[in-house]
Structure 1
Amino acid sequence: MTLIGFLVLLLIAAICGGIGQSLAGYDLGGCLVSIIVGFIGAYIGLWVAGKMGLPHFFTITVDGKPFPIIWAVIGSAIFTLIVALLRRLFTGRN
């Protein structure tokens, strides 16, 4: 993978993570956190899609690496909700 391809993949993950956090209504952090949430969301989304037998649609391929946009956004929202609930459970507040 080239450096430009890697940076494009990071940008796509950051956007998907940011959209997922917006849908969940909870902000976990800044740009770096959005990138991490985007990648974790892609894995969670693909796992959920695989368990439910749902198709992979709207996948962008960057340097031969597929990145599922829709499942990354859905997985990011799920991950953000879980983290928000755990944070509220352990701290009692936001």
Structure 2
Amino acid sequence: MPEEVLFKSETDRSRAEIASLLRRVADNLADGESITLTAGADSVTLEPPARPTFEVKAEREGPDDGPGELSIEFELEWDETDGADGGSDTLEIE
């Protein structure tokens, strides 16, 4: 199935601003609330199930012979029809 981008935002932010946005997502997840993403006129509201799959990925992109770009990606994923839970690996973030 092809990927459909429902919402995208990419902006430079301070670490404190990013922490605040992630904290808001965390609070909504903990409270069982929907998550609404808004940037300008674009907006989407999603309702994660009780047990979505949580993917964390650290990447380095760039040439083999020089410095590249580092990233940390956090992804919540679920099936629109049933919200079944995913794997059971233990994740810790320090």
Q: TM-score, normalised by structure 1?
A: 0.28
Larger radius of gyration: 2
The answer to which structure has the higher helix fraction is 1
> Which structure is higher in RCO with an 8 Å CA cutoff and minimum separation 6?
1
The answer to which structure has the higher strand fraction is 2
